[in-house]
Amino acid sequence: MAFGFAQAFRTFGRLALAGAIGAGLAAGDVGAEQKPPSPGSAKALFAGVSLPTQGPAQPIGFYAKGCMTGAVALPTDGPTWQAMRLSRNRRWGNPAMIALLERFSQDAVKYAGWPGILVGDVAQPRGGPMLNGHSSHQIGLDADIWFTPMPARRMTAQEREDLPFTSMLQKDKFLTVNPKVWTESRARLLMLAASYPEVERIFVNPAIKKKMCDTWTGDRTNLGKLRPIYGHDSHFHIRIKCPPGAAGCTPQAPVASGDGCDKSLAYWFTPAPWAPPKPPKTSAKPPKPPREMMVSDLPKACAAVLDAASVASMQAATYGGPSAASALAAAPAAAPADDDEALPDVGPVPNDKPTIQ
């Protein structure tokens, strides 16, 4: 890499500083994310709806400021995927997103040598802002995929709640991928995900982006879709384009040409993205606390989305029909495996800092 990573590490790679930054981000942001929302806030209202609307599927607004109608649920189980953290009720998405996840899971087995994917958060039944964890995922066109491979058996609901995340980073080094955890199959998985024309961006930790820039020897045409951002060290975030005909969907600016292995990536290896906010001047008025997002802050149609009639049941709105929701319910489990938003193009304003998994 010709744009100063070595110098960046010399000036900012001290382990103590890295540890202090990581601890500060986790302590500050996790607490803020977990603060209970006000009863009338958009977070509280959209999180309180358990089923999607009837009618056609439409994403409304922007990835980090919107809602959706006609969502469908990813089945909890498939031959090549398992949905995680089921209690969150966040496996809802636009049909285009859910269809891509199923296709991607099959292609991952066939082309990437991956045993199957573990799917994290997609969206809430009617989209909108979540209680915690994300500023995006609001219109059903975002989905999180774990870097942990799917086990050789169907996990119980409790196991899906308890299975820990596996970070791809070394704990004792600043923004460095752990060679004992990272594998070529994970690199193939990322590039496969980026290969679909409807995929607009894939968010990964800056260290993972650098690893891909340094080591990927295959076709680099889609490498620019991998965008560095805070968090995303134990999962990657797939974002697809507004579906054709979705007039109410606000698209994001296209990714710049090139592979992204340039100054835009080098930025993440400087102090700037990680520095705490500067304290206000003693003579200045203390800043007002950020105001909660209300439904009135979302596109006007989102108020009607909250009030719209629900589908009859989760099974009725599961992608592939009611049979898909229970197709594997009676299947015997295999033997246990032995192993285990306004969003930036590249920064500097993060959508998750860090993402709560």
Q: What is the CATH number of the domain that holds 266?
A: 3.30.1380.10
Structure tokens at 260: 């992204």
Q: Are strands 235-240 and 226-228 parallel, antiparallel or unpaired?
A: unpaired
**pLDDT surpasses 70 at 59:** yes
The answer as to whether 12 is a domain residue is no
Q: How confident is the model at residue 21 (pLDDT cuts 50, 70, 90)?
A: very low
Terminal Cα distance for the chain, rounded: 31
pLDDT of 285 reads: 78
8 A C-beta contact, residue 73 and residue 317: yes
Q: Identify the three-state secondary structure at position 117.
A: strand
pLDDT of 278 reads: 81
Measure CA 142 to chain center.
Answer: 6
**pLDDT surpasses 60 at 5:** no
pLDDT of 323 reads: 56
> What is the total count of domains within the chain?
1
The answer as to whether 9 is a domain residue is no
Q: Are strands 235-240 and 142-146 parallel, antiparallel or unpaired?
A: antiparallel
The average pLDDT across 2-19 equals: 42
Q: What is the pLDDT of residues 267-298, one digit of tens each?
A: 999 999 988 888 877 777 777 777 889 999 99
The answer as to whether 161 is a domain residue is yes
pLDDT of 221 reads: 95
Mean pLDDT of the chain, nearest integer:
83
8 A C-beta contact, residue 89 and residue 122: no
The answer as to whether 49 is a domain residue is yes
**pLDDT surpasses 50 at 337:** no
The answer as to whether 330 is a domain residue is no
pLDDT of 356 reads: 30
> 314 to each of 51, 81, 82, 91, how far by Cα in Å?
7, 19, 17, 11
Q: H-helix or E-strand containing 7?
A: helix 5-12
pTM equals: 0.83
pLDDT of 123 reads: 97
pLDDT of 134 reads: 83
The answer as to whether 153 is a domain residue is yes
The answer as to whether 332 is a domain residue is no
- Name the CA dihedral angle for 227, 61, 51, 316, rounded to a multiple of 10 degrees: -80
DSSP secondary structure, 121-155, as one string = --B-TT-S--SSS-S---SS-EEEEESSPPPSSPP
Q: How confident is the model at residue 34 (pLDDT cuts 50, 70, 90)?
A: low
Nearest residue to 175 via CA among 232, 218, 260, 236: 232
The average pLDDT across 138-153 equals: 97
The answer as to whether 1 is a domain residue is no
The average pLDDT across 242-261 equals: 94
pLDDT of 35 reads: 75
**pLDDT surpasses 90 at 2:** no
The average pLDDT across 202-226 equals: 97
Nearest residue to 141 via CA among 78, 64, 236: 64
Give the rounded percent of residues in the chain with a pLDDT score beyond 70.
80
**pLDDT surpasses 50 at 314:** yes
Give the rounded percent of residues in the chain with a pLDDT score beyond 90.
70
Range of the domain at 241: 42-272+293-320
**pLDDT surpasses 60 at 8:** no
